[in-house]
Structures are given as C-alpha cells and as structure tokens.
Structure 1
Amino acid sequence: MSIGNSPEDDRPSVEDAQPSAGYERPPVGRTLQQARIAAGLTVDEVSTSTRVRIPIVQAIEQDDFSRCGGDVYARGHIRTLARAVGIDPAPLVAQYDDEHGGRPSPTPAAPLFEAERIRSEPRRPNWTAAMVAAIVAVIGFVGFTLFKGEDQGNGPTQLAEGPAPDKKPSPKATAKKPADPKPDPSDSAIAAVPKDKVTVKLTAVDDKSWISAKDHNGRLLFDGLLLEGESKTFQDKERIDLVLGNAGAMELYVNGKKVQDEFEPGQVERLSYTKGDPEVG
C-alpha cells in the first residue's frame, strides 16, 4: 500500500478479476471471489441476490463444486454468481468445461447426474392379475355355454293367430331424470383451489430436479431433490418464490391452471407466483 492511498484503492477491480491473455488462468472459484471483493460485496449479499445458499457460494469460491449436485447445476451457479459480481460468465463456464472434461453432448437419454444414475428394476410377473383374468375367462365361457343351451332347447314356438294384445305401460315405469353434466376436469381443479391463497404444484415428469420454495416472508418451505414422478404442493396467502434447478423436467400448476413454459433441461429458473391467473416469470 502506498502512502496516501485509501484501503479501497488496493482492492482488486472487476477488470483485474477477469483472466488476461498470456498468463496462467486462476481457478474459477478464485476469479469469482476476486470479482466479488472488487465489487464490494459479501458472501451473504451475493447469496441473497442470487438465492444460491451460502455454503455453496463459499465452496465454489474454494473451487469445490461437489456441493452443486452435478455439472449442470455447477455451470448454472457459475453463470449466476458471475452476473451478480459483474463479470462475463462465458469464459468461466468454458474454463470449467476444460478442467472437468468438457460439456457432454446433449442426448435425450443422458442422465443429469452420472453419479446417481437411476436404473429401472426388471418387472416381475403379476401372478395375481393373471389368476383373476383366468377366473373371469372361465366364468364367461360357462355363462356363454349355458345361455346358448337354453336358446337351443326352447326352439321356435307357434303363436296363435289374432291381434296382438295392447301393451299397457307399467305403472311403475317413470321417466328417468337426465344426469347432470359432469364439470370439465380443469374447471373442477380450479374450483377446488382456495381463491384467497396462491397454490403451486410441482411434478418432476421427465427427470429429477433440485427445487427450493419460500413463502412471502422468505421462510423456506422446501429445499431438496424432487425425484421423477414425485410432486410437491405449496400454499401461501400472498406469494410463492421458486428456484428450479432443472426447469425443463418440471410440470407446474399454479392456482389450478397448468403453466405453459418453454424451459429446457438443465435450465435454472427463479419464479414467483401470486393469487390469480399464473404467468411465467
């Protein structure tokens, strides 16, 4: 430190945090840490603005990406933190790919978590269903045989000539009241949702995804992994804030209505919903 300069003058600038040509690149986490310090931000402030948890921010700045949950989430966190501290995320993501084996080619069958690959177990034969089907078939065959035998035993009968007697309606025969039309399924689902609250239902339809949900006071409602086929429903009187780690795999119903989105697999999305008709945002 030179005499007469303030301590702020010795802090690294945002430009100094970016790797320059001709020099060995510093680690990704070190670059993000220097950029944060140069921007005058604390870890708590970065965590609040990005909604990335403090332990994950601290681990990334130490170049430890094991807490991110996989390469897809690690790239998403790098982009989010880089934008928060004011630097270009593209070089850092490219550096991460170079140091961790590169970005895998996108194929529909590739799992998001190689370390946690889900393998389907072979299906066992359902002997109970087979037995029930066999019993139903036997009963049906016996009934058909008896009915056919009665028809053949009776044979055609000779009817007496003359006018056929008038058939009088039975006094018990009454006109049936037409059944009320069933409501549309979507209308029933909307009617069942409380109008004085915001209701959000998440379902992992294509793959698993890490999700985080908070109420309008910032209280954490859920933070964890939602496996394929699982669902979570959250309610609040004013607002629900969401963070979806794999938005393309999720199906959203807000206030009883399905949210039409164009999210892609591996895309990190931050969404907020209030009472009324849902909108993506």
Structure 2
Amino acid sequence: MSIGSSLAEARRSAGLTVAELSAHTRIREALIHAIERDDFSQCGGDFYARGHVRNIAKAVGLDPETVVHEYDESHGGVPLPVRAASVFQADTPIKIRESRSPNWTMAMVVALAIVVVFAVVRAMGGGGETPTADVRPGLPSPSAPLGAPEGPRKPASMAAGKVNDLVILQVKAKRSSWLDVKDMNGKKLFSGTLEAGKTSVWRADKGMKVTFSDGGAVSLQVNGKNLGTPGRRGQVLNRFYGVPASEPR
C-alpha cells in the first residue's frame, strides 16, 4: 500500500473527514487530497512534504517516524540539511573601496539575505504543530462552561444540577494519543492530542461520543467509576458513554 493510501485509510478509520483533518493539522484540504493520491508536487519540495506527511500521520494515529521513513525510501532518501552559513558565503571576495561612501546596493543585498534566512529558519522550526489539550491540574472554576476540559473533580454524586442526566468523563493518557469528544447533540467538546501523563475531564448532559486513535493509550473514569482502557494498543475506537455510565457502547 502506498503512503497516500495508508494515510487515507487511517483517516477514514479514525472517523475524520478531509475538512476535519485540515482544521486539525492546518494543512489545506486540496493538499491533503493530493497527498492521499501520492501527489507531492504541490508541497513545495521534499522538506515541506516530509513535514506534511509527519503531521497527517500523527493526527490519524500512525507512527510519524515510520511513515516519514517510508516517504524517504521512496523519494531518494533523507534530504541533506541546508547550512545557513552557505547562504552568507560570497562566491567572490568583496573589495573595499578606498572611498568612505557607503555601498547601498551591497547593504540591501545583505539585508535581503538576512530576511530570507530568518524566514527559512522560522519555517523549519515552527510550522504545522499539532494542537494539544490544554490540561491544568486542580479543581475547575465554578464558572467553567459545560463540556470544557478540566482537572480532576469530585464524583457526579457531589456535583450540582441533574446528577442522573450528567455524564462526567475523565481521561488519563498513558502515552500521547489523539481523541475527539462530542456531546449528544454533536457539539465538539475537544479534538486534539492528549499528552502522556496528562488528565482531562469533560461534562455533558445524557452522554458523550468519543473517538480514540489508540484504545490502549488511555484509561477512563465515567462518573467516578474506573473503566480501565477502552481497547487494545493501536486500536481505533468509536465509543458512547451515557446513562447508566457503566455501559459504554
């Protein structure tokens, strides 16, 4: 199976549309369609293609390093790094005129070279980051909106409101894992990567629908009841947690 086919199949298994994957990775939908057809000509070169492949693989639950290695194997190996010093090295030495008047043309060329190198270094260091869950330890503020990610809190039996209709889902990541959480009306409560060792909590009336990219990477508590891991390592799952909370579907 080709790289594009593998990414497309993993996206569908994760229950993601191209539009949702585009919003998650900040990669244009047209470019995602092209990559899934193994057309990397729109990426702007191997360096950017490798970055897009890495971000997409991570978002759909595949091992990014394995997929990038497969890309390198099929496109002539790992590209050689570009040394920033080579950008500044002149082909011929610059002769200093005896006149003390400034050489404005040369100054403009040097300034332009500095701007170009700064843009390249910035693009190499920070493009295409995957959104992660903003998890903060401790109890949530009483004014926190329904469905917002929170730190660990008291069991549902001690919460205010309709206890019988409220479902509280606590997810702890044993290793970094992508998941998608929606309430019963389809409203998205969270979509992104929960980092290893972090815990996040969501609340919703009557229940929640959750997509796990790795069923063995997280452990769950629903309304204070420990449900353990929802599946096996690397297994993509779609689960519903409702009332009673002890019976996920």
TM-score calculated relative to the size of structure 1: 0.40
Structure with bigger strand share is 2
Structure of greater Rg: 1
